[in-house]
Amino acid sequence: MTKPIALTIAGSDSGGGAGIQADLKTFQERDVFGTTVITALTAQNTEGVHGVFPESLQAIDAQLEAVLTDLRPDAVKTGMMFSAEIIERVAFYLKKYHVERIVIDPVMIAKGGAPLLQQEAADALKTELLPLAHTITPNLPEAEVISGLSSIQSEDAMKEAASLLHDLGAAHVVVKGGHRETEDARDLFSDGREITVLPSPRIATKHTHGTGCTFAACIAAELAKGETALAAVQTAKAFITSAITHALPLGGGIGPTDHSAYRYNS
């Protein structure tokens, strides 16, 4: 017996709901073998980010070299990158080892408002990482920063953002609608030719810590198994909707979602 391998390159969330921890839980649930490259440690809980401690470039290089030369990933997910230097190292190794099926969650700001990407690193994300993307999964504020559109509120603006991100080099784009104030929580998927709506009801909960990480990790897991882009994002949408429906009111702030809910409820 063997298993597909999915690699996450992201920050560690000591609170367990987002980052590396959310990604590994999702990989396990989706039956792929998870490996990790940690870009930064965060001291974090449901109430907020208490500290951010980026890894040295030496530690990041060593982790990338170790996993990419032995446990070749069938798909990769990137999350919190923190700095332009880290983005450059990650892009260098992904190209050096001709890694395919890269899902980029362009994490910028945590739900509580703490910056997880230095402001000056947004350009590096756009020029170095985005062109490597099999799929990029921005939320609305991230889509605004990357596309340069000043305010993405309507579905038409989401479509325009998807098209701009595709032109910048991402093969597939999911513009996530989680941050809208609409009745449903639909996302838009674009392969550069067609737009597909990923529908879901908007669940009335504040416990959405790590939703973006979990969604992108699930896409990577499905791609690692050989699914098409559309099938991967549709499974990820069902997975995250179930995880949010059964979100866990743990801690005193924004609680995590339940990564095992999809298994128990589908």
Ligand X SMILES: Nc1ncnc2c1ncn2[C@@H]1O[C@H](COP(=O)(O)OP(=O)(O)OP(=O)(O)O)[C@@H](O)[C@H]1O
Ligand Y SMILES: Cc1ncc(COP(=O)(O)O)c(N)n1
Of 8, 35, 46, 208, which residue is the catalytic one?
208
Shortest Cβ 1–ligand X spacing (Å):
32
Helices (H), the chain: 19-29, 57-70, 84-96, 122-124, 140-147, 155-167, 211-224, 229-245, 261-265
* Known active-site residue 214: no
Least Cβ distance, residue 42 to ligand Y (angstroms): 5
What residues contact residue 89 under an 8 Å CB cut-off, 6+ apart? 57, 60, 61, 64
Interface with ligand X includes 107 (CB under 6 A)? yes
Task: Rule CB under 6 A: choose which of 110, 185, 188, 216 binds ligand Y.
Answer: 110
Helix (H, G, I), strand (E, B) or coil at 103: strand
Determine contact, residues 262/29, Cβ cutoff 8 Å: yes
Query: Residue 144: how many CA atoms within 13 Å on its side-chain side?
Result: 10
Residue 121 or residue 225: which is nearer to ligand Y going by CB?
121
User: Locate tokens 């093969």: which residue?
Assistant: 171
Report residue 63 as tokens. 């982790």
Contact residue for ligand Y among 42, 137, 235, 242 (CB under 6 A): 42
Residue whose token pair is 């513009």: 175
Stretch that binds ligand Y, among 56-64, 211-219, 228-236, 238-246 (CB under 6 A): 211-219
- How far apart, in whole angstroms, are the C-alpha atoms of residue 181 and residue 152? 12
252 is known as an active-site residue: no
Q: Select from 12-20, 168-176, 184-192, 257-265 the region that touches ligand Y (CB under 6 A).
A: 12-20
State yes or no: is 96 an active-site residue: no
> From CA 106, how far away is CA 129, in angstroms rounded?
9
* Radius of gyration from C-alpha coordinates of the chain: 17
User: Is the CB of residue 81 less than 8 Å from the CB of residue 117?
Assistant: yes
- Binders of ligand X among residues 152 to 211 (CB under 6 A) are 176-179, 185, 187, 200, 202-203, 208, 210-211
Q: Smaller CB distance to ligand Y: residue 225 or 237? A: 237
159 interface partner picked from ligand X, ligand Y, none, CB below 5 to 8 A per type? none
Q: Which helix (H) or strand (E) holds 41?
A: strand 33-45
What DSSP string describes 161-175? HHHHHHHTT-SEEEE
The item of ligand X, ligand Y, none sharing an interface with residue 80, based on CB under 5 to 8 Å by kind, is ligand Y
Decide whether 68 or 258 has the Cβ nearer to ligand X. 258
Q: Which stretch binds ligand X (CB under 6 A): 5-13, 92-100, 154-162, 212-220?
A: 212-220
Between 187 and 222, CB nearer to ligand X: 187
255 binds ligand X (CB under 6 A): no
Residue of the chain from 32, 60, 161, 213 that contacts ligand X (CB under 6 A): 213
Residues that bind ligand X (CB under 6 A): 18, 107, 111, 139, 176-179, 185, 187, 200, 202-203, 208, 210-213, 215, 237, 240-241, 244
